[in-house]
Amino acid sequence: METAPAEPTDISDELRSEWEGEQDKLKTKLVLENCEPWQSKLEEGLQYVGGVDLSFVKGDDVNACSSLVVTSYPDLKVVYEDCCHIQLTAPYIPGFLAFREVPFLVESFERLKKKNPELMPQVVLVDGNGILHPKEFGLACHLGIILDIPTVGVAKKLFQVDGLEKNAEHADKVKQLAKGGDTFPLIGASGRILGKALRSSDNTENPVYVSIGHKISLETAVCLVHQCCKYRIPEPIRQADIKSREYLRRLFPEQNSQDEKT
């Protein structure tokens, strides 16, 4: 599940420069604090939470499924789902995942707006990173700005940037997460808090790595992710992953599926 569908591909200096320029441009619009009334009291104002995920046909870095799920809050029931077979054209480059995935995720939200605009989520949990990223502008940030909606990055693996390492010290901190809801900050060599490691439930020892995407504070993002967890992965993302894998199994019955996230 954690393995990328292909090895990272080299890209031209021209394309890399173009993508970096686009990230820098969009990053100027990034908001790293709460902006919506519901964020001060989740149980009173929050009604719908979205989750997005892409799953891939195993051994195939082109055929994939883009999945959007909307759950009610706080009961986390699936009220909307959208799965679509897609064929990726942009290469898999760590640090530039948004250029590979965001266009298809945006199309999912456009279909939601046409079909059931009343179910548009107030916040989206993204299977990937937000500011926990080499340029502090990951997939969740990119998607949040394009959609102009609060987003949160939720990663299963630690993105080792700004001096963060999955080493013995990190492992000791993980062991000290005694119960669901316990956290520790991810402080880079720059001194910046790039996110938090969260033990998302009492029944799992491995944390998830939560980072701001757009228009939400880290404190609120962590609280929301924890409240959305029945298991290790928050329910909107977990359901998006389940739906996308089911879709690919029907479409490609001879193959298994996997996902990529950096």
- DSSP symbols for 207-255: -EEEEEEESS-HHHHHHHHHHT-SSSS-HHHHHHHHHHHHHHHHHSTT-
How far from the centroid of its chain's Cα atoms is residue 257's Cα? 18
Find the mean pLDDT for residues 147-174: 97
- Bridging pattern class, strands 78-87 and 151-155: unpaired
| CA 96 – CA 48 distance, rounded (Å) | 28
* Contact (CB, 8 A) for 247 and 83: yes
Tokens of 65: 């499924």
pTM: 0.93
pLDDT value at residue 4: 40
Name residue 201's beta-bridge partners.
none
Find the mean pLDDT for residues 179-188: 97
Strand ranges (DSSP E) for the chain? 48-57, 63-72, 78-87, 123-127, 151-155, 183-187, 193-198, 208-214, 257-258
| CA 184 – CA 187 distance, rounded (Å) | 9
Q: Give pLDDT tens digits for 229-245.
A: 999 999 999 999 999 99
- Specify the CATH class of 35-252 in words: alpha beta
The amino acid that residue 91 corresponds to is: P
Find the mean pLDDT for residues 115-119: 98
Contacts of 188 (CB under 8 A, 6+ apart): 161, 162, 163, 164, 194
**Range 192-226 burial, b when 16+ CB lie within 10 A, else e:** eebbbbbbbbeeeeebbbbbbbbbbbbebbbbbbb
Q: Based on C-alpha coordinates, what's the Rg of the chain?
A: 17
**What residue spans define the domains of the chain?**
35-252
Residue 48, number of CB atoms within 10 A of its CB = 18
Q: How confident is the model at residue 260 (pLDDT cuts 50, 70, 90)?
A: low
Q: Give pLDDT tens digits for 42-74.
A: 989 999 999 999 998 888 888 999 999 999 999
- Alpha helix ranges (H) inside 39-135: 42-45, 97-115
